[in-house]
Structure 1
Amino acid sequence: MDQDFERELLEIFKAEAEDYLTILNDGLLALEEGADERAVEEMFRTTHSLKGAARAVNFSAVEELCQAIESLFSKIKNKELKLNEGIRAVLNRSIEHLNELLNQNNFNASCDIDILKQLQAAASGEIKAAAKEKAQKRPAARPKAAQKPEASRPEAAGQTPEKTTAPEPAPATQPKSADAAQETIRISYQKIRELFTQSEDLIAIKIKQKFYIDHINQLYDQLEAIGKKRRQWLVASDSADALNSELFREFSLIKKQVDLLKNTLENDLFQITAMIDKHLDDIKQLMMFPFSTITNYLERSTRAIAREMNKKIELKIYGKEVELDKHTLELLKDPLIHLIRNSLDHGIEPPEERLMRGKPEVGKITIEVLPPRDQSIVVKVSDDGRGLDLAKIKQKSLKKNLVTQAELDDMNESQVLSLIFHSGLSTKDEVSKLSGRGLGMAVVLENIEKLGGSLKVENYYPNGSTFYLTIPLSFATSRGILIYTNDFRAIIPTKFVRLPMRLEVAQLKTVENQLVVNLNGQNIPLFSLASLLDIKTEDRETPQYLNILILRLDEQHEIAVSVDQVLDEREIILKKLNPPLEEVRFLSGVTILGDGSLVPVLNVHDIFAACSDRFKPMAIKKQKPKQILVVEDSITSRVLLKNVLESAGFEVQTAINGQQAWQILQKQTFDLIISDVQMPEMDGVELTRKIKAEQKMKSIPVILLTSLGSESDRKKGLEAGANAYFIKQDFKQKSLLDLIHKLIGTE
């Protein structure tokens, strides 16, 4: 574990420990009022979770103390001991000592032997109620405000802590700092994300209001036309009777009322739009983090890979201040690391070779994050290595039967470069643990497409290459063009539409049996959108004019699609589809129109892939990483496990208890499940039983990862159906990963 991640893990542990101490302190107050079974159960589970979190950061004194407290609570919980005043006093002193250890922030501290002995005596039933006169009946102090960790690493600290007593209260005259006066709370990103998703539904109010206004405007225009005809009739008529005059006055009054209603609705829409947009912008800002959030991870990963390859490298990162949604940042980590690894392995030459080529001994990789533009962000990843060898790419593509020689001869440079994104294609002749399997670049493209983005390559062989990652700002509100074709309405995202046009059929050309649109001297292949989407079409006469949209993925990939009508452009809320609909071809999601109807939003990547063999490089067979569900109630242990597994190339989802995991399993499938045993609501053993009893889930391997190491506990877990029982005390990354590879067949 490197130092940067260790520091990050320690910060997570401190926040988690503070929460656990709050629960324990509140539990002590509850125990003062009587032997509350629920309080005992909650304190038992909390102590167990804190023990696991302390083990994850090597805080042995806290782990040892929690183990002793947990043992005592276990006896009370199982009715082997009756809670009395003496035991309450021991628990008071023990949890007060736990507070002191955590406040000292000294990972080399030792646990108070006297307190451990008292806990052991209490668990053995040696402390009777008579001990209460010696007890100090007071709840433990809350932990101090978050303190910065010592400069040195915990295991290097070396000093022996002095025994401390309860801290003396600060003088009453001591002024509060501005920071202390500012109250803060911790809230998970997921909760903010859920709030934002719910708040986005407010946009539907805007869309409906606009829909009503459009209809009122149509009604007003109709009334205006009727009034004009009425006036013309009155002028042409020699006489106007009283009845007609009265009808005309009533008609004018109705028209004024409609006009007033129209103006009121337009004013309301203006105010609603301002309030909703500000509300959404405020929530968006809470989810935005600077790119610097992940730069430490990128820098340390680059150093580690370079050391392993015996290469000298300088990583430069520009645009660290540019802010992105946290979800986007997390999904960017993997493709960026793949690109860096690819640059180091395939591009950056060994020092001696660089010197021979007249290059600096130290290679350079540059990541530049450009400011947002047109609702998207571009990340450039460049290196000054060899670049991409087109001849070698062609050779390997033919060998893998990805293309024929005739197809290769017909490809331009950008299309040949696109071949590197095929799963299984690698220009390496040998397979190493870092590369050679041809999965890296396919994974990069897959992750970028998950974000709704695109990827472009510029090659400067033999002097390097640049990858352009274009990523939309990852909020679901965007704009789309509503089209109608063969009784089918759909939305095409505006960002992919270069140009709408109306073209006479006689102006179309045919090149190699393919209809094309000639735009500024460039022939763009034309397809019927209805045919691409496999929508049944009735025989009908060819119209004189075609409504056409020019779609663009990037500068090298453009197509034209014909539709019956291009209705309008509008603001949309993209709602992603849930499994199993998320895999339906051509669909990115759905949106709701002002009249309440659902309309599909088309996946432009799938449209390009379906067009013709000319775009075969875009029709990539993707090999998804294996999916693992981690079920662990300790956030520290959860983050540690997630980091270990993601670093090994797995896709990881987490749950905080068995009940939440079971709910997740109803919606999606996983290749493997790793679960703690002791958790609230539903423990790991019960979760395993439910999984193995379910026909569609029973084949999923389950690993129970727990601190319960007795033979009876192991037997209980295996009898529930677990495929393996892994003791946390014996936790080694390699052993766990070897076991995972064995269970899911990825060795």
Structure 2
Amino acid sequence: MSTEEERFLQRLLAMFRIEAQEHLQTMSSLMVELDVAVRAEDGGEVLQPLIETLFREAHSLKGAARSVNLETIELICRSLESVLSALRKNQMPLTAPVHRAVSDAVAGLENVLAVEPIDRPLDLAAIKLIGALDQLLTPPEEVGMPLPPVESLALSPLGLQLEPVMPLPPLPDPLPQVAPPPLPALEAVPQPAAPAPVTAPAEHPVAAPPAHAVPEAPVAPAPAVIAHDIHPRHQEMGDTVRVSAGRLGVLLNELESLLGLKQDATHRVESIRALHAEVADWRRERARAVLGLRVAARQQNTDSTGELARWLDMNTQDELFGKQLQDRLAQLEQAARQQQRATASLVDQLLDDVKQVLLQPASSLLDLVPRLARDLGITTGKQIDVTLEGQSTEIDRRILEQLKDPLIHLVRNAIDHGLETPEKRRALGKPERGQLRISVAPYEGGKVLLNIEDDGAGIALQRIREVALAQGRYTEAQLDAMDTPTLRNLIFETGFSTSPILTDLSGHGLGLAIVREKVEKLGGHLLLDAPPGGGTRFQMLLPATLATFRGVLVTAGERQFVLPTRHVERVLRLPVSAISSMGSKPSTRIGDEAMAVVRLAETLGLNASTAAVDDWLNVAVVAASGRRIAFVVDAVMADIEVLVKGLGPQLRHVRNIAGATLLEGGQVVPVLNAAELIASAAASAGSSLRPADPDAPAQQSLLVAEDSITSRSLLKGILEANGYKVTTAVDGLDALTQARAGQFDLVVSDVEMPRMDGFDLTTRLRAESKTAATPVILVTALDSREHKERGVEAGANAYIVKSAFDQTSLLAAIRRLI
């Protein structure tokens, strides 16, 4: 293939990817609506249009995949299309297994599209999806028939020999063409203007199959029921053009560069105004001097024909020139100011228009929640009703992209920590199905409010106190002085977790701290509340669009810096007498809150200013990551609008610095990182706010129990490379013997081992006084909920699944436990 043909193919694949994402997003939303319709026992007048639209989307995606020779996507769509065709012709009932197979096929197509290269050969996962779909079309008499043996073995893309793959059952003969009843056109389906969110009941019978359909066994209810606002998917859009999001981002960046032009225009106006003022001052001073000379000449009766008279005549001409110069400067200033206003208005309007183009409905973010809740419900054995509201609210796509990870974490947190199992909910008198409600709504000031609320156990304040005391973060007196909101907000601190065991889902103590950090980086706030009816509510107050950056220009150590305005709560002047000592550090009381006082220059490692010190201090109160510090600066200059630029790959991360900006006159000024600045200030002040250093070299002794020599050597190498002293044991009994004889700070153990497994080892360690408090981490391939619960009962402190294992998670767990 020539270079030109290769480039053309790559352009086709890029266009296909955009088109496929649109089809799959529509199909995912349709599956959610289909699930709601089935559980609400809606009739064919609602189901059939949804199935018809699904069929058309699958058919269109199949055709698009065929045009670019993507065999995997084409084959999956072909089987999916066949199943949907049978459904739309009433040749098959929409049962729970059928719904699950179609949903899995849509998810499988998304996975194929997300992994590079997109044109890779058919793999086992795709074959499994196709087989599951084709099995639905297999006549009952053919189900369970023995399959012919495989004559040859397939080779994987890596060249490894795989196990024999059983061939798929042959497709049945064409299904009999049964004339279906006429369906109403999709456009004719009545759509309510603003339907209220409907929460499905705990149990919903599946719609009765037609008389000619093959009956199926009843299926247990799905772990997640989704109720949400039905929002229109096919809107009249008129003439449209498809532009990649990347190009829109580049366009926005280029437009933001025009902010420099806007600032330059303002600078030019100020320069002309200053020159105009100087000329006016010069004329006034000159006029006073000439007047004095004239008075002196009259008093001395100087000859009018002398030198003074000639000089005064020349001055009259200069005065005329000066007046003309001043008038021209006034005209120039007026014209420049008008041009500056026009430029500023045009730049602001262009930026606002492009930001409006970047708005997307919140559904592009919220649509991932139902599947996530379903999967977590299966993993944890919990039943969940998910209610989504406000999907049509529009938010900047850049904000939606950054919110994906925080939303996933909060949903996992609600399901893993908040919602109880059906048995426990029954014992508490609650419905078996837990409620998870997520809503997005416009808020005043161009903001949006995102709520994530559950009706689970809520925040255990006593458990928070116990963890805070155990980790040495606060004393009993400090905790007693805290009100309920302050105590509740301790869960946002790095390394703080109330989970009794560390798993792949929770217990790391990092998630909520990272969620708050990401929300604050977007210019938002994360709030925690307890609803009146019980449970937990997280609220994200976010800008609808990424606003132009504004900062407070300050000086410290005879240099200028920009503090992000969104992190500066207030600027004030404090008398030196208001500074007192709290422990070993300066502090003051601002309003009703006591906070540390730190010089910004000292935090940044600069020499203190040599300017004279008076009895007053300029203070900027900076808040980030739930902490506040009063920074003393030399001067507060102005609140300015700036364009922040990165420092380049050579300076990818400089502590306390988020970027730089160019001020009027070409001066480069650093923009400070508020969160890192507070952490640096806390560390330099030696305060109780100082976070633990995760990079401090560890000298603890570890015991590793693993029967596989390969895994044992791998763990030993990883831990020794990170500064730990490691002793190994070949099984649980060997580990128990060594634990009795030696002194270890932590035990890392496999579960499935000869003579004594990891569960029994943990139980025996907990039963002996010498090792009762020694932390135990179980690293195993057993990932079921039952095994994790057994690990908790045995007394393990962390449970890491090997399928999701990486050394970072293991090392983080060790640092947290010791």
The alignment's TM-score, normalised by the length of structure 1, stands at 0.58
Q: Does 1:250 align with 2:306?
A: no
**Aligned equivalent of 2:597:** 526
In the superposition, relative to structure 1, how do residues 460 and 6 fare at CA in structure 2: closer, same or farther (>3 Å)? closer
Counterpart contact for 1:389–1:461, Cα < 8 Å: no
**Partner amino acid for 2:265?**
Q
Q: Distance in 2 between matches of 1:189 and 1:505?
A: 53
**Aligned equivalent of 1:194:** 250
What is the aligned counterpart of 1:386 among 431, 453, 457?
Answer: 457
**Aligned equivalent of 1:314:** 385
| RMSD (CA atoms) | 4.3
Taking the TM superposition and a 5 Å limit, the aligned residue runs for 1:205-216 are 205-216=261-272
Counterpart contact for 1:388–1:461, Cα < 8 Å: no
Secondary structure of the residue that 1:573 maps to in structure 2?
coil
**Aligned equivalent of 1:371:** 442
In the superposition, relative to structure 1, how do residues 605 and 230 fare at CA in structure 2: closer, same or farther (>3 Å)? same
1:262, distance to aligned residue in structure 2 (A): 0.7
Secondary structure of the residue that 2:439 maps to in structure 1?
strand
What is the aligned counterpart of 1:218 among 256, 264, 274?
Answer: 274
In the superposition, relative to structure 1, how do residues 561 and 362 fare at CA in structure 2: closer, same or farther (>3 Å)? same
**Aligned equivalent of 1:596:** 666
In structure 2, the gaps of 5 or more residues are: 1-23, 33-53, 83-132, 135-169, 178-233, 298-308, 696-800, 811-818
What is the aligned counterpart of 1:204 among 243, 260, 263?
Answer: 260
Q: Distance in 2 between matches of 1:412 and 1:475?
A: 34
What is the aligned counterpart of 1:54 among 69, 74, 78?
Answer: 74
1:491, distance to aligned residue in structure 2 (A): 0.9
Q: Does 1:480 align with 2:551?
A: yes
In the superposition, relative to structure 1, how do residues 375 and 449 fare at CA in structure 2: closer, same or farther (>3 Å)? same
**Aligned equivalent of 1:690:** none
The percent identity for this pair of structures is 26
Q: Does 1:4 align with 2:37?
A: no
**Aligned equivalent of 1:33:** none
CA-to-partner distance for each residue in 1:394-435, whole Å, 9 max, x for gaps?
333454566676775676655544443455543232455533
In the superposition, relative to structure 1, how do residues 204 and 261 fare at CA in structure 2: closer, same or farther (>3 Å)? same
Taking the TM superposition and a 5 Å limit, the aligned residue runs for 1:513-592 are 513-537=584-608, 542-553=613-624, 557-579=627-649, 581-592=651-662
Counterpart contact for 1:480–1:492, Cα < 8 Å: yes
In the superposition, relative to structure 1, how do residues 571 and 622 fare at CA in structure 2: closer, same or farther (>3 Å)? farther
Taking the TM superposition and a 5 Å limit, the aligned residue runs for 1:268-347 are 268-347=339-418
Q: Distance in 2 between matches of 1:179 and 1:295?
A: 20
Q: Distance in 1 between matches of 2:64 and 2:664?
A: 45
Q: Which structure exhibits the higher relative contact order, with contacts defined as CA atoms closer than 8 Å and separated by 6 or more residues?
A: 1
Q: Distance in 2 between matches of 1:288 and 1:561?
A: 37
**Partner amino acid for 2:314?**
L
**Aligned equivalent of 1:348:** 419
CA-to-partner distance for each residue in 1:649-692, whole Å, 9 max, x for gaps?
xxxxxxxxxxxxxxxxxxxxxxxxxxxxxxxxxxxxxxxxxxxx
Secondary structure of the residue that 2:549 maps to in structure 1?
strand
Counterpart contact for 2:551–2:639, Cα < 8 Å: yes
1:360, distance to aligned residue in structure 2 (A): 4.6
Secondary structure of the residue that 2:456 maps to in structure 1?
coil
In the superposition, relative to structure 1, how do residues 356 and 388 fare at CA in structure 2: closer, same or farther (>3 Å)? same
What is the aligned counterpart of 1:448 among 519, 525, 529?
Answer: 519
Counterpart contact for 1:608–1:618, Cα < 8 Å: no
**Aligned equivalent of 1:92:** none
In the superposition, relative to structure 1, how do residues 436 and 520 fare at CA in structure 2: closer, same or farther (>3 Å)? closer
CA-to-partner distance for each residue in 1:553-595, whole Å, 9 max, x for gaps?
48x6432211111111111112234445343221222222122
Q: Does 1:262 align with 2:318?
A: no
CA-to-partner distance for each residue in 1:242-289, whole Å, 9 max, x for gaps?
111111111111111111111111111111122222222221111111
**Partner amino acid for 2:639?**
E
In the superposition, relative to structure 1, how do residues 307 and 414 fare at CA in structure 2: closer, same or farther (>3 Å)? same
Taking the TM superposition and a 5 Å limit, the aligned residue runs for 1:13-162 are 47=69, 50-54=70-74, 57=77
Q: Does 1:608 align with 2:632?
A: no
Q: Distance in 2 between matches of 1:481 and 1:515?
A: 24
Q: Distance in 1 between matches of 2:468 and 2:532?
A: 19
Q: Distance in 2 between matches of 1:622 and 1:467?
A: 28
**Aligned equivalent of 2:288:** 232
Taking the TM superposition and a 5 Å limit, the aligned residue runs for 1:482-521 are 482-521=553-592
589-598 or 562-571, which deviates more: 589-598
Counterpart contact for 1:388–1:462, Cα < 8 Å: no
Secondary structure of the residue that 1:202 maps to in structure 2?
helix
Counterpart contact for 2:580–2:587, Cα < 8 Å: yes
**Partner amino acid for 1:218?**
A
287-296 or 205-214, which deviates more: 287-296
Counterpart contact for 2:65–2:71, Cα < 8 Å: no
Secondary structure of the residue that 1:243 maps to in structure 2?
helix
**Partner amino acid for 1:608?**
I
In the superposition, relative to structure 1, how do residues 513 and 402 fare at CA in structure 2: closer, same or farther (>3 Å)? closer
In the superposition, relative to structure 1, how do residues 499 and 404 fare at CA in structure 2: closer, same or farther (>3 Å)? closer
CA-to-partner distance for each residue in 1:316-358, whole Å, 9 max, x for gaps?
3343333211122122122112112211222223345445545
Counterpart contact for 1:490–1:600, Cα < 8 Å: yes
**Partner amino acid for 2:673?**
N
Counterpart contact for 1:496–1:553, Cα < 8 Å: yes
In the superposition, relative to structure 1, how do residues 525 and 742 fare at CA in structure 2: closer, same or farther (>3 Å)? closer
In the superposition, relative to structure 1, how do residues 537 and 521 fare at CA in structure 2: closer, same or farther (>3 Å)? same
**Aligned equivalent of 1:81:** none
In the superposition, relative to structure 1, how do residues 422 and 553 fare at CA in structure 2: closer, same or farther (>3 Å)? closer
In the superposition, relative to structure 1, how do residues 182 and 449 fare at CA in structure 2: closer, same or farther (>3 Å)? closer
1:313, distance to aligned residue in structure 2 (A): 3.1
**Partner amino acid for 1:593?**
L
Q: Distance in 2 between matches of 1:355 and 1:407?
A: 38
Q: Distance in 2 between matches of 1:743 and 1:376?
A: 39
Q: Distance in 2 between matches of 1:510 and 1:157?
A: 84
1:366, distance to aligned residue in structure 2 (A): 2.9
CA-to-partner distance for each residue in 1:14-43, whole Å, 9 max, x for gaps?
88877777xx7xxxxxxxxxxxxxxxxxxx
**Aligned equivalent of 2:746:** none
**Partner amino acid for 2:638?**
D
Counterpart contact for 2:561–2:669, Cα < 8 Å: yes
In structure 1, the gaps of 5 or more residues are: 25-45, 63-106, 109-154, 163-177, 624-737
Larger radius of gyration between Structure 1 and Structure 2: 2
**Partner amino acid for 1:606?**
E
**Partner amino acid for 2:326?**
K
Counterpart contact for 1:418–1:617, Cα < 8 Å: no
